[in-house]
Amino acid sequence: MTTGAPTPTAPRRSRARTLAPLGIAAWLVLEIWLLTLVAGAAGGFAVLGLLVGAGVLGTLVIKRAGRRAFTNLTQTLQQQPGAAAPTGSGEGNGLLMLGGLLLMLPGLVSDALGLLLLLPPVRTRLGRSAERSLERRMRAASPGTLGNAFQQVRIHRPDGKVVQGEVIREPGAGRPDEPDFPRPPLTP
């Protein structure tokens, strides 16, 4: 039964969501093809040794990066208020963990990418590129999107201090599209 109201249309899928499954399938086919080529040339035990060795190396890399992240966290939590934050100890740690994960995945292409991420200049350059891309996307975010929510959370103060507190909106002070919710009265 129709009511005459327009039916909502489904949002259009982005190009990345459409092509991602095809890219993953192509990557898996490439990995299998390369493993069979190497197995044909060097033997099955050589391929098994490569895969096990890369898995062990990936495990060690992730363990080391995790320890570094935990050490950085404990140093940050134990520092005195107003003291300078520790610098450089966590730079590229996420990319280091990603490199370890890629090493743990079976395949030669993922191993090559994981080994590239173990190189500090590659991690630094990739991290800066990702940071610039994220900043650009956040600046271009339209109202009502997740990127705009992150944009609103940032506090721009000239001295760089973070202000602790809670935002309380007065009724009628919000945007016109936001409903005003009644608050319970304050009791002493």
Query: Tell me, what's the pLDDT at 136?
Result: 84
Domain assignment present for residue 67? The answer is: yes
Domain assignment present for residue 59? The answer is: yes
The model's pTM is 0.64
Q: Determine what percent of the chain is predicted with pLDDT higher than 70.
A: 63
Structure-model confidence comparison of residues 124 and 90, the more confident one: 124
Domain assignment present for residue 105? The answer is: yes
Cα angle value 84/89/94 (rounded, 5°): 125
Return all residues near 100 (Cβ < 8 A) that are at least 6 apart: 57, 58, 59, 60, 61, 62, 65, 114
| Total length of the chain | 188
CB-based contact 103:114 (threshold 8 Å): yes
DSSP secondary structure, 52-72, as one string: HHHHHHHHHHHHHHHHHHHHH
Domain assignment present for residue 30? The answer is: yes
Structure-model confidence comparison of residues 175 and 107, the more confident one: 107
Residue 48, token pair as written in the block = 């098994």
Per-residue burial over 91-114, b = 16 or more CB atoms within 10 Å of its CB, e = otherwise = ebbebbbbbbbbbbbebbbbbebb
Domain assignment present for residue 161? The answer is: no
pLDDT tens profile 30-53 = 999 999 999 999 998 999 999 999
pLDDT tens profile 48-104 = 999 999 999 999 999 999 999 899 888 888 877 766 666 655 677 889 999 999 999
Structure-model confidence comparison of residues 56 and 168, the more confident one: 56
User: Rounded distance, CA 108 to CA 27, Å?
Assistant: 11
User: Rounded distance, CA 177 to CA 158, Å?
Assistant: 31
Q: Which domain holds residue 134?
A: 23-78+92-139
pLDDT tens profile 134-152 = 888 777 767 666 655 555 5
Domain count for the chain, please give it: 1
User: Rounded distance, CA 168 to CA 181, Å?
Assistant: 12
Domain assignment present for residue 98? The answer is: yes
pLDDT at 155 over 60: no
Domain assignment present for residue 147? The answer is: no
Which residue from 27, 22, 23, 19 is spatially nearest to 106, judged by alpha carbons?
A: 27
Domain assignment present for residue 54? The answer is: yes
